Amino acid sequence: LRGPGEMAGTRQSGIPEFRVANLMTDGELLSLAQQEAQRWADRSEERGRLIEALSGKARLVTVG
């Protein structure tokens, strides 16, 4: 049996053990995080640099 992301192993596959948040208790925090992430993404200079960086990595992956 294997876990998520493992090619071979003894663990059961399925949901990863790492939990990001509890929707019942962390709803307000998740909402604030989403708003801040959207504000960050809307800043064109930062978004442009991120897109450029990720595009370069994608080219490397497809080339070799």
Kindly indicate the confidence band of residue 29, based on its pLDDT and cuts at 50, 70 and 90: very high
The whole-number average pLDDT for the span 8-21 is 63
Cα–Cα distance list, 31 to 7, 16, 27, 35, 54 (Å): 35, 23, 6, 6, 26
Pick the more confident residue, 22 or 7: 22
Instruction: Count the domains in the chain.
Output: 1
Q: Is 4 within 8 Å of 13 (Cβ atoms)?
A: yes
Please give the mean pLDDT across all residues of the chain.
Answer: 74
Range of the domain at 30: 1-64
In the structure encoding, which two tokens stand for residue 6, read together? 């493992």
Percent over 90 (pLDDT), the chain: 12
Q: Express each pLDDT in 34-54 by its tens digit.
A: 999 888 878 767 777 888 888
Is the pLDDT confidence value at 16 over 70?
no
Burial (CB count within 10 angstroms: exposed 0-12, middle 13-18, buried 19+), residue 3 = middle
SS3 of residue 16 by DSSP: coil
